Amino acid sequence: MEQHWPAYEAKMKAEGLNDAAIAAFKYNLSVLLSGASTMIPESDIGSVESLPVMESLDVTPDPALLKCTVMLKLNGGLGTGMGLDRAKSLLTVAEGNTFLDLIAKQVSSMKSQYKADLAFMLMNSFSTSADTLAALAKYPELGTGSDLEFVQNKAPKVRADDSTPASWPRDPSHEWCPPGHGDLYPAMLGSGTLDRLLAKGFKYMFVSNSDNLGATMDLKLLTHFASTGAPFMMEVAARTDADKKGGHLAKDAKTGGLLLRESAQCPEEDEKAFQDVSKYKFFNTNNLWVDLVALKGIFEKHGGSIPMPVMKNAKTVDPRDKKSTPVLQLETAMGAAISCFEGATAVVIPRERFAPVKTTNDLLALRSDAYQLTKDFRITLAPERNGVPPTIKLDGRYKFVDAMETLIPEGA
């Protein structure tokens, strides 16, 4: 670490990255260079047998909590897998509304319903910030500038052969990568967002992905979270065979605390157990509730970083040139922070709070009459679907949005 770190530190400082971004990458690099395993074997964990269920929560919703709660959407994705070169949240979903339109209208509707203000923020990426702010300019009540957004960090790619910073002079932008959505926490700290929110009296944060329109601010869940006194709460859903290749919730065999195991952290010999949905019953929806005071406390305890589980992602420095230098991208997942908060908890939610759009199959389903737009601007399954979403499998030629839209020339 002593040998390699000065080159990384100099590179990040020259790029103008803040202290929190540098501290987060330093921790991730130290894990890599220590030789410590980034895997979570079956012997280290146990299953989570039961959790509170949202529909059965016995709480009286408290609108007063909205005054000290911020709703944050992760909006850094470009949707390149769907052939897009701008924020995925700018796609039209229903009745002429984009994801961002619906999110803005949901916030406005909730303010009217509860006669209370509701703070809203976005974590954008360098790629999505300008387009997103332009699209939201028609909703000035959401906020502007640093009250509305902060931008996620970037991290250096690491050469796979000698662990030095990757270099690619013909396009230096390829020397950097997104550090995963676990960057939410250091990006909040480094941008000053966390301290500003705390200074304004905010205590709770609800985080979700901008492409998940099911993840609305729910007063019942907020009240439940506040009543538990837990520092962190993850919304989980019951795993089915369709979810078996994705990550799952588990218990740390040593501490008894909750943790998240992603597929990249599962040793090959444990894959059968990993995919056993009767043993590991719950998956992370990436709808998270965080106590901001507790988050600040973790940063202070660990000298400005959070010791998150690190994932190694093997790539080439130029992703389109498979003969270019092999590199490692060091990434963290924001849900994995559950293992960093002592006393963290989880709650089982109905599937309608988890409706992300990852493919054109998902987008076509949302645009179809299987879903309907409610008066408070949520998209829900039509009653005649009896809770069963449509199954759509488009041919590979319709993988990109522009090709898919030729199937519905009259629009959604």
Catalytic residues: 358
Tokens representing residue 77 in the block: 């994705």
Torsion sign (Cα): 56, 62, 66, 69 = negative
In angstroms, the CA 217 to CA 195 distance is: 22
In angstroms, the CA 2 to CA 97 distance is: 52
Instruction: Count the residues in the chain.
Output: 412
Query: H-helix or E-strand containing 293?
Result: helix 292-301
In angstroms, the CA 306 to CA 316 distance is: 28
In angstroms, the CA 196 to CA 114 distance is: 25
In angstroms, the CA 49 to CA 241 distance is: 18
Closest to 232 measured CA to CA, from 312, 299, 287: 287
Cα dist from 194 to 20, 101, 127, 185, whole Å: 12, 26, 22, 9
Which residue matches tokens 């444990």? 270
What strands lie across the sheet with 248-252, from one edge to the other? 45-46, 248-252, 258-261
* 308: CB partners within 8 A, 6+ apart: 27, 28, 182, 185, 332, 333, 336, 337, 340
**Which three-class secondary structure state does DSSP give residue 249?**
strand
* 164: CB partners within 8 A, 6+ apart: 4, 7, 158
In angstroms, the CA 355 to CA 380 distance is: 9
